[in-house]
Amino acid sequence: RLLYLLQQETSSTELRTECAVVLGSLAMGTENNVKSLLDCHIIPALLQGLLSPDLKFIEACLRCLRTIFISPVTPEDLLYTDSTVISHLMALLSRSRYTQEYICQIFSHCCKGPDHQTILFNHGAVQNIAHLLVSTSYKVRMQALKCFSVLAFENPQVSMTLVNVSVDGELLPQIFVKMLQRDKPIEMQLTSAKCLTSMCRAGAIRTDDPCIVLKTLPCLVRMCSKDRLLEERVEGAETLAYLIETDVELQRMASITDHLIVMLADYFKYPSSVSAITDIKRLDHDLKHAHELRQAAFKLYASLGANDEDIRKKIIETENMMDRIVNGLSESSIKVRLAAVRCLHSLSRSVQQLRTSFQDHAVWKPLMKVLQNAPNEILVVASSTLCNLLLEFSPSKEPILESGAIELLCSLTQSENLALRVNGIWALMNMAFQAEQKIKSDILRGLSTEQLFQLLSDSDVNVLMKTLGLLRNLLSTRPHIDHIMSTHGKQIMQAVTLILEGEHNIEVKEQTLCILANIADGTTAKELIMTNDDILQKIKYYMSHSNAKLQLAAMFCISNLIWNEEEGSQERQDKLRDMGIVDILHKLSQSSDPNLCDK
């Protein structure tokens, strides 16, 4: 009925305005209220109302639209179904401070992802909203700032534009810095820090710019402190994690600001023990945010420890840190699990920690558990961590093998997801390095020859390089070389031929020639090369190649075939002499490259 009255041209403007106000009040209720209003097609009716000449009625419609759009049950796309709506809203921005506040709030709630950002950007959002940052109304300034924080998030195009926009002769970054100051409301400090963070990550502001180093970073660290609200601490830590994620200097700076590493340990202490019954409300609030706090702390620890060994050491020495990560790996919340795995991955880059803390806490156990049927997002990070735990100097290598890792990794190499294929084969490569023969045989059995060929013909060069690395590690130490070549010789020689004939880059061909050199080092395996004229011709061809790396690798093959003290060396030398290898060696001994000349 209210909607009917609102839409009647014959109703007086006062009546239509009152209808919009009452509908807005209903929308403030439960999510079901909003659903019922959406089912009655309230949005088209209110958008239609915006065409009225009466400002009071327009403001009432906008206020109601704002309340509906900030509800989680409202699909954002409803704002974009008709392209004239955005243009009309931009035009209404100049009408009053209320239209400014509500429209900015609608935009910042409905801008989800790059498509929405582009639509708003192309409709002149930056130019139309920029001057609102210096409005006399705090609410308008705040909503405009929020708009910029969602427009610029992970968006280089918007970020690069913002850097050069000025309002009343002042550039936007300078305006954002003023809004960061300690005397401003927290919400404003946080949101302007987010704007500057997005601009920095997009490359629009340098990471060593004073506005980042002296203003944004310290402001975000302040947001992590105990006297901030839980919501603010979550947002502060997540934004800081994003700001410093890829820059080692910022990581070092953050790690020594206000004892941040110790301060974050407090994020794990919620919900705190409840004494009086009056605290039930607080407990409820704490419980709601406890997951988010842990997730934020893990993310920030992961960013802090991404590159610097000393920072990692400090993180691990923080009270019960390893236990917290291990617990995080088995939490019910998938977001916390993902953040904990990220944190573990970051710390697993440290050789020192792999040998000590990771061993003391048997981190591999929960990690192997996480790898069982996890979503891809978690699998990618968890399998990367496993790669590090399987390095030859890591004491976790043995127990991981015993817990069925080979099967698991072989199955990852068949994934549709490229990152998982790379990690699966990479982990097997690390596992095969200086391993005993049984492990190598298990890997070959687990992979199957078909899968090996599949990987060697993978379109991604990373997968190919890691597969060659695996083969090279499998074919090391004589007894192993001979054993593997006696069972898989024919297929491996086929694979080598295939790659040397294919269109591949220098690194790929070099790895392949190194594999041949390893085969040439075997006792019985040598024969597979000596009886294969095609391969011998290829080695000869690469000795005269224009690239010195390939020439050196080809010469390795030759030198491994001709050791005097090995049985049959005379026959092999004669055959190679007949092929003209000696002539090429004479020519290479005159080379200007000292390495080639030497060899």
Domains of the chain, residue spans? 206-319, 479-598
* Best mean pLDDT range from 345-354, 369-378, 473-482: 473-482
Span 419-448, average pLDDT: 91
Which residues make Cβ contacts (< 8 Å) with residue 554, sequence separation at least 6? Answer: 513, 539, 540, 542, 543, 545
Q: Quick one: pLDDT band at residue 277, thresholds 50, 70, 90?
A: low
More confident residue, 61 or 290: 61
* Side chain identity, residue 248: V
Fold of 479-598: Leucine-rich Repeat Variant (1.25.10)
Span 590-596, average pLDDT: 87
Please check the confidence at residue 94 and state whether its pLDDT lies above 80.
yes
More confident residue, 54 or 361: 54
Q: Quick one: pLDDT band at residue 341, thresholds 50, 70, 90?
A: very high
DSSP H helical segments within 433-477, as ranges? 437-447, 449-456, 461-474
Distances (CA, A) of 449 to 31, 471, 494, 534: 57, 12, 11, 22
Note if the pTM is more than 0.85: no
Please check the confidence at residue 248 and state whether its pLDDT lies above 90.
yes
Structure tokens at 240: 């800081």
What pLDDT score does 181 carry? 94
* 121-130, 243-252, 269-278, 557-566, range with the lowest pLDDT: 269-278
What pLDDT score does 475 carry? 92
> For residues 334 and 375, what is the distance between their CA atoms, to the nearest angstrom?
9
> What is the sign, positive or negative, of the torsion defined by CA atoms of 280, 286, 289, 294?
negative
Please check the confidence at residue 566 and state whether its pLDDT lies above 60.
yes
pLDDT tens digit string along 15-31? 999 999 999 999 999 99
* Side chain identity, residue 179: M
Please check the confidence at residue 162 and state whether its pLDDT lies above 90.
yes
* Side chain identity, residue 424: G
How many percent of the chain have pLDDT more than 70?
98
> For residues 232 and 376, what is the distance between their CA atoms, to the nearest angstrom?
30
Span 542-550, average pLDDT: 91
Residue 33: Cβ within 10 Å count = 17
pLDDT tens digit string along 139-158? 999 999 999 999 999 999 99
> For residues 325 and 68, what is the distance between their CA atoms, to the nearest angstrom?
40
Please check the confidence at residue 373 and state whether its pLDDT lies above 80.
no
CA dihedral 539, 541, 544, 547 (to 10 degrees): -80
Please check the confidence at residue 274 and state whether its pLDDT lies above 80.
no
When the pLDDT of each residue in the chain is averaged and rounded to a whole number, the result is 91
pLDDT tens digit string along 182-205? 999 999 999 999 999 999 999 999
> For residues 373 and 97, what is the distance between their CA atoms, to the nearest angstrom?
53
* 44-58, 339-353, 384-398, 412-426, range with the lowest pLDDT: 384-398
Please check the confidence at residue 273 and state whether its pLDDT lies above 80.
no
> For residues 501 and 508, what is the distance between their CA atoms, to the nearest angstrom?
11
What pLDDT score does 390 carry? 83
Which of 442, 433, 453 lies closest to 405, judged by CA?
442
Span 507-522, average pLDDT: 93
Q: Quick one: pLDDT band at residue 288, thresholds 50, 70, 90?
A: confident
Please check the confidence at residue 64 and state whether its pLDDT lies above 90.
yes
> For residues 343 and 241, what is the distance between their CA atoms, to the nearest angstrom?
11
Burial (CB count within 10 angstroms: exposed 0-12, middle 13-18, buried 19+), residue 61: buried
* Side chain identity, residue 447: L
Q: Quick one: pLDDT band at residue 364, thresholds 50, 70, 90?
A: confident
